[in-house]
C-alpha cells in the first residue's frame, strides 16, 4: 500500500490529460488526479505492478493506493556487496525495459526508476512499482516541468537548473542506466552526502567502474550510453532493445512494441469509479487487523469481552 497526499497530487496535476473516451474533459485539479488514477488502474502488463484499489477518507488528506502483493520483494537492496551476475542482471533488465516501454506507450513517465521500485513476483519476473511521482503527458512531446524523484537517480538536465522543462523519456532512460549500474556494481555511480556535490558529479563526472568489477565491455558501453549527459543523444528504448548485450548478440529477441503494448482508454465511468470512499480510516485499520490475525472476528469486540 502507498499513501499519497491529495494536496500534493492536486498541485502536481496541473498538466494536460488525454480526452476522456465518450465524454467531456474534466477540468478541475481533483478531477485530473482522478483521471490519472483511472488510467493507472487500467494498466495491464506482466512487467507493471497492478493497482488494485484506491481508497479515500474524505476527512483526511491521504489517498491509499493498494497494489497487488509481491512476496519476493525488491530486485536488489542497494548498497550491497553482493550485486547480481551479468546474466541475472540481463534477465531482470529485459523485464524492466519492456515494462518501461509499455508505460511510455501509455504516455506515462515513471520518473523514479530505481531498484527499490522494481519488485519480483513468484516467478522472479520484474514488475515496475510506485507511481507516486509518475506523470502523464499529451501529444508527442514528453515534457517535464518540475523536478521530483530520487536525487542519485536523476539526470543532469533535471538537477543542473539550466532549464525549467526537459524531456521525460530520456529522464527514465538515465534512471534505468543508474539502476543497471546498481544491479551489477552494488551501488550508484554518483554518490555524496551533500546534495550540491552530488549534482556536481552527475552533471560533470563521467561514470567509472570499480577496478575489481569484471564486467564485459558491452555492458559497460551500454551503461555509458544510458548515462550520456546530453538527453538528445542518450540511447533510446528502441535502441536498447536491439543492443548486443541485451539480446545476447541476437539470440534473444524482445517483443516489439506492437506485440506487447496496447493503448489504454478511460471513460467518464472509469473516472467516477476509480476511487472508493471509506467513511472512516478506522474501517481500514480494522480490516488490516483482521487480515493480520487471519480471523474475521471483530478484534475490538474480542478484546472487550476478554476484559470483562
User: Is 112 marked active-site?
Assistant: yes
Question: How far is CA 25 from each of CA 32, 58, 149, 268, 271, rounded to the nearest angstrom?
Answer: 9, 24, 29, 9, 11
Q: 169 burial class (0-12, 13-18, 19+ CB within 10 angstroms)?
A: middle
- Do the beta carbons of residue 70 and residue 50 sit within 8 Å? no
Side-chain half-sphere exposure of 252, counting CA atoms within 13 A: 15
- Do the beta carbons of residue 284 and residue 278 sit within 8 Å? yes
- What gap in Å lies between CA 152 and CA 161, rounded to an integer? 16
- Do the beta carbons of residue 77 and residue 115 sit within 8 Å? yes
Q: Name every residue whose Cβ is closer than 8 Å to that of residue 205 and which is 6 or more positions away in sequence.
A: 190
Chain centre to alpha carbon of residue 288: 25
Place of cell 519480483: 120
- What gap in Å lies between CA 295 and CA 301, rounded to an integer? 13
Place of cell 499513501: 3
Q: 121 burial class (0-12, 13-18, 19+ CB within 10 angstroms)?
A: middle
The active-site residue out of 112, 130, 172, 228 is 112
Provide the terminal-to-terminal Cα distance of the chain, rounded to the nearest Å: 36
In 3-state terms the chain splits into helix, strand, coil percentages (rounded to 5) of: 40, 10, 45
Catalytic sites, residue numbers: 112
Amino acid at each position: 500500500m502507498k499513501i499519497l497526499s491529495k494536496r500534493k497530487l492536486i498541485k502536481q496535476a496541473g498538466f494536460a490529460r488525454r480526452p476522456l473516451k465518450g465524454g467531456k474533459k474534466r477540468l478541475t485539479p481533483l478531477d485530473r488526479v482522478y483521471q490519472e488514477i483511472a488510467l493507472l488502474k487500467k494498466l495491464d502488463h506482466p512487467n507493471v505492478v497492478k493497482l488494485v484499489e484506491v481508497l479515500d477518507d474524505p476527512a483526511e488528506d491521504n489517498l491509499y493506493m493498494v497494489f497487488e502483493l509481491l512476496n519476493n520483494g525488491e530486485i536488489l537492496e542497494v548498497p550491497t556487496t553482493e550485486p547480481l551476475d551479468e546474466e541475472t542482471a540481463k534477465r531482470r533488465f529485459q523485464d524492466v525495459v519492456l515494462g518501461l516501454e509499455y508505460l511510455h506507450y501509455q504516455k506515462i513517465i515513471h520518473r523514479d526508476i530505481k531498484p527499490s521500485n522494481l519488485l519480483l513476483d513468484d516467478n522472479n519476473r520484474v514488475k515496475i512499482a510506485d507511481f507516486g511521482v509518475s506523470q502523464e503527458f499529451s501529444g508527442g512531446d514528453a515534457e517535464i516541468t518540475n523536478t521530483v524523484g530520487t536525487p542519485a537517480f536523476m539526470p543532469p538536465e533535471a538537477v543542473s537548473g539550466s532549464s525549467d522543462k526537459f524531456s521525460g523519456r530520456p529522464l527514465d532512460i538515465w534512471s534505468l542506466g543508474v539502476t543497471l549500474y546498481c544491479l551489477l556494481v552494488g551501488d550508484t555511480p554518483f554518490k555524496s552526502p551533500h546534495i550540491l556535490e552530488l549534482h556536481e558529479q552527475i552533471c560533470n563526472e563521467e561514470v567509472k567502474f570499480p577496478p575489481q568489477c569484471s564486467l564485459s565491455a558491452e555492458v559497460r558501453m551500454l551503461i555509458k550510453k544510458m548515462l550520456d549527459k546530453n538527453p538528445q543523444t542518450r540511447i533510446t528504448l528502441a535502441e536498447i532493445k536491439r543492443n548486443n548485450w541485451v539480446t545476447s548478440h541476437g539470440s534473444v529477441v524482445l517483443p516489439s512494441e506492437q506485440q506487447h503494448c496496447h493503448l489504454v482508454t478511460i471513460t467518464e465511468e472509469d473516472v467516477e469509479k476509480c476511487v472508493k470512499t471509506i467513511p472512516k480510516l478506522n474501517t481500514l485499520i480494522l480490516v488490516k487487523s483482521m487480515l493480520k490475525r487471519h480471523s474475521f472476528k471483530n478484534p475490538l469486540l474480542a478484546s472487550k469481552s476478554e476484559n470483562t
